[in-house]
């Protein structure tokens, strides 16, 4: 089983790296906005007075350059900003690079972000905290952060981090996990191997280099869904992964607006207004379900 899974992970995935149209609703009317290749990313509504530069990462099912519609979060983000009159220039990077672009003021918005405590120091400007450089939006739906193992594991997990802290864990570079887990990692009480993405985390686990990986299981699953494997092989791979219960914690998602932008407060206010409108109209669940179903259907 493990030999098959490792081989399957190495199959190339990338078939959808083209501009994706973004469809959203205004006054009960569907509007489809075509995208275009722009600089090293994609552009929308580029004739607007203010064009914002956004940086993100490949993190399916939320967002990914190789999904058929780039993911529900991509669709949501572009539509919210265009409805507020902005142009959008969006680029995909490894997460550490995306964080750097935003913290140094080279990008207006970094997303998706987990909640950041006030005492978290920037990795790029060591005299500043993350929250001194970036302002978090109101939350939007996210997912469960969990310890994920192979289904045939023999790990005795009682729901506490202490019960597994002697296990070698895989984590993604520059991700913020739970406060307790990150504290133990920083203190050297948990041995970790760092990966650049969830896709690499799966590889570490299947190769036996780690016993657990710290991830959102839905993100791991989506890395398999978007591959060119047959449905049968996808199901076999998905069945090899299991999230230990209970999860570490539920993680909402946020937008981070760089405070280097002169108009950062108005940008943040516009984002929060759109989030509040969607929440008041109970639109998040249906929007997410619709966008996910466009790309994921194993039958």
Tell me the CATH number at 224: 3.40.190.10
Clarify whether residues 230 and 134 are in a common domain: no
Mark whether 119 and 267 lie in a shared domain: yes
Q: Which of 72, 82, 98 is nearest to 35 (CA)?
A: 82
CB-CB contact of 203 with 172 (8 Å): no
> Tens of pLDDT along 172-199?
998 989 999 999 999 999 999 999 888 7
Q: Could you tell me the pLDDT band of residue 298, with boundaries at 50, 70 and 90?
A: very low
218 and 119 in one domain? Answer: no
Instruction: Reply yes or no on whether the pLDDT at 261 is more than 50.
Output: yes
Q: How many domains would you assign to the chain?
A: 2
123 with 271, same domain? yes
Peptide bond into 146 cis (omega under 30): no
Residues 126 and 261 in one domain: yes
| Residue 13 is assigned to a structural domain of this protein | no
Digit-coded pLDDT (tens) for 196-244: 888 789 889 988 999 999 999 999 988 877 777 789 878 887 888 999 9
**Cα 119 from Cα 137, distance rounded (Å):** 18
**What range defines the domain where residue 60 resides?**
22-141+253-293
- Same structural domain, 182 and 102: no
Average pLDDT of every residue of the chain: 91
Whether residue 15 is contained in a domain is answered as no
Query: In this model, does residue 66 exceed pLDDT 90?
Result: no
Is 298 domain-assigned?
no
Let me know: does 29 contact 22? Beta carbons within 8 Å.
no
Tell me what pLDDT residue 11 has.
Answer: 44
Q: Are residues 123 and 229 in the same domain?
A: no
- Same domain membership, residue 149 and residue 137: no
Q: Report the alpha-carbon distance of residue 292 to residue 69 in Å, rounded.
A: 9
In a domain, 6, yes or no: no
Domain identity same for 26 and 106: yes
DSSP H helices, 84-178, are: 95-103, 130-133
Q: Is position 16 within any domain?
A: no
* Confidence (pTM): 0.84
Same domain (yes/no): 31, 97: yes
CB of 9 closer than 8 Å to CB of 203: yes
Residue 11 falls inside a structural domain: no
CA 160 to chain CA centroid, Å, is: 25
* Contact call for residues 96 and 173 (beta carbons, < 8 A): yes
CB 13 within 8 A of CB 227: yes
Based on the fold, state whether residues 33 and 76 are members of the same structural domain.
yes
* Structural domain contains residue 5: no
- Domain assignment present for residue 7? The answer is no
């Amino acid at each position: 089983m493990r030999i098959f899974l490792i081989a399957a992970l190495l199959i190339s995935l990338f078939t959808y790296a083209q501009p994706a149209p973004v469809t959203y609703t205004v006054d009960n009317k569907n509007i489809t906005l075509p995208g275009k290749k722009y600089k090293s990313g994609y552009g929308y509504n580029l004739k607007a007075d203010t064009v914002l530069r956004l940086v993100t990462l490949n993190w399916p099912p939320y967002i990914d350059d190789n999904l058929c519609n780039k993911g529900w979060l991509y669709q949501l983000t572009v539509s919210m900003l265009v409805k507020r009159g902005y142009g959008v220039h969006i680029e995909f990077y490894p997460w550490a690079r995306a964080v750097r672009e935003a913290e140094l003021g080279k990008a207006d918005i970094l997303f998706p972000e987990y909640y950041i405590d006030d005492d978290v120091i920037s990795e790029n400007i060591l005299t500043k905290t993350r929250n001194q450089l970036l302002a978090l939006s109101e939350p939007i739906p996210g997912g469960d952060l969990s310890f994920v193992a192979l289904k045939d594991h023999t790990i005795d997990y009682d729901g506490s981090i202490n019960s597994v802290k002697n296990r070698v864990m895989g984590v993604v570079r520059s991700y913020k996990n739970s406060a307790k887990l990150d504290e133990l990692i920083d203190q050297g009480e948990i041995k970790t191997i760092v990966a650049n993405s969830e896709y690499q985390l799966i590889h570490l686990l299947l190769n036996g280099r780690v016993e657990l990986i710290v991830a959102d299981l839905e993100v791991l699953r989506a890395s398999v869904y978007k591959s060119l494997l047959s449905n049968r092989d996808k199901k076999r791979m998905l069945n090899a992964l299991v999230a230990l219960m209970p999860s570490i914690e539920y993680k909402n998602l946020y937008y981070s607006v760089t405070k280097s932008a002169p108009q950062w407060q108005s940008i943040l206010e516009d984002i929060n207004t759109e989030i509040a409108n969607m929440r008041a109209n109970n639109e998040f669940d249906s929007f997410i379900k619709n966008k996910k179903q466009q790309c994921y259907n194993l039958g």
